[in-house]
Amino acid sequence: MEVNNKYIRFDWAVKRMLRDKANFAVLEGLITVLLGEKITISEILESEGNQESASDKFNRVDIKAINSKGEIIIVEVQLTRQLYYLQRMLYGVSKAITEHIQIGDKYDNVKKVYSINILYFDLGQGKDYLYHGRTVFTGVHTGDQLKVNTRERNEITLCAPENVFPEYYIIRVNEFNDIAKTPLEEWLDYLKNNRIKDNTTTPGLREARERLLYMTMDDKDRRAYDSHMDDIMVQNDVLDTAKMEGIEEGRAEGRAEGRVEGLKEGRVEGLKEGRAEGRAEGRAEGIAEAQKSFVKNLHAMGLPVADIQRATGLSEQDIEDLLRK
């Protein structure tokens, strides 16, 4: 990619730049493409993910906005693996709902929430790069979908539960490996590869080409951005190295222990069983060693225990025990 066509990564832009009203069009474009309808952001709400300290570089980055219909939209970018991510999505949505209704308000003031999660790690099993979830009530015996009475503009109308309950979008950035042909694929190409077509007409990306150019940053922001990219590269290298070391150690120890146990038995069956048990124990020990190495590497990089907990899913006590070994 040419230097003059180098674009700022979305996770950096959403944290530092897209809270500016002048840049709302970029974020509106992504949400418009996902929801299939024109979205206009009225305001950006306070959001706990917008820290500015050096220790926040691996925290989630999020924006919480209200659209022109008064609905709440949460956009989160997650850079590192985290256990119980689905539970965190649910918590974030529940918190957004309760924060924006006052005690004593009627229930018709509860706003629909869209949760858009952009993940730069592998979440579970699945072949698609985009997953969409919403709530429907289906008849157990009839198979029909429930609709309920509601009041809108002083009229009683039927409303489907999916128009009230939250909707969730999970974008698995690493799973996108196609040539960008549709607007959504163009967005994925930007999220993963920082590429934007010169002749793009995709909502949001036209504005991103003008406002998210690397060379338009001042020297201070450019140095901070370069440091952020270095941190991501180091983090990915640590993860990949720990994973490879764990696999190789597990294989080697499994083969060695399998041969020893098998020879002791002196039988073909014993040899097979010994190898299998050895491999299993070796894999377990290899994973444990990789986990210990990963924790120590993150600690050596200066991450506090709270951030290491979020990256690994381990308890504070487990992390302290590993650091003492």
Return d(Cα 252, Cα 247) in angstroms, integer: 9
| CA–CA separation, 254 and 153 (whole Å) | 69
Q: What letters, b where the CB count within 10 A reaches 16 and e where it falls short, cover 143-178?
A: eeeeeeeeeeeeeeeeebeeeeebbbbbbbbebbee
Task: Measure the CA–CA gap between 109 and 292, rounded to whole angstroms.
Answer: 49
pLDDT in the model for residue 55 = 43
Rg of the chain over all Cα atoms, to the nearest angstrom: 24
Task: Identify whether the C-beta of residue 212 lies closer than 8 Å to the C-beta of residue 13.
Answer: yes
Helix (H) or strand (E) holding 151: strand 148-152
Give the C-alpha separation, 228 to 12, whole Å: 8
User: How is the chain split among helix, strand and coil, in percent rounded to 5?
Assistant: 50, 15, 30
115 burial class (0-12, 13-18, 19+ CB within 10 angstroms)?
buried
pLDDT value of position 234: 58
Residue 261: the pLDDT is 58
Give the separation between CA 205 and CA 276, rounded to whole angstroms. Answer: 53
Q: Strand 167-172 to strand 113-119: parallel, antiparallel, or no bridges (unpaired)?
A: parallel
HSE-up (13 A, CA, CB side) for residue 209 = 14
Contacts of 284 by beta carbon, 8 Å cutoff, 6+ apart: 250
In whole angstroms, how far apart are CA 83 and each of 260, 272, 312, 313?
A: 37, 35, 7, 5
Largest CA distance in the chain: 85
pLDDT for res 147: 92
pTM of the model: 0.66
Measured distance CA(322)–CA(308) in Å, rounded:
12
Chunked into runs of 10 residues, the chain (325 residues) has average pLDDT values of: 63 82 92 93 72 44 83 87 85 89 81 93 88 95 91 73 94 92 95 91 92 70 69 58 60 61 52 56 65 77 76 81 82
pLDDT, position 57: 42
- CB within 8 Å of 156: residues ≥ 6 apart: 149, 150
Both tokens of 73, joined, read 């939209």
pLDDT of residue 263: 53
Report the alpha-carbon distance of residue 252 to residue 265 in Å, rounded: 20
Round to whole Å and give the CA distance between 258 and 276: 7
Instruction: Kindly write down the DSSP assignment for every residue of 60-127, as one continuous string.
Output: -EEEEEEETTS-EEEEEEE-S--TTHHHHHHHHHHHHHHHTS-TT--GGGPPPEEEEEEESS--SS-S
| Residue 316 one-letter amino acid | E
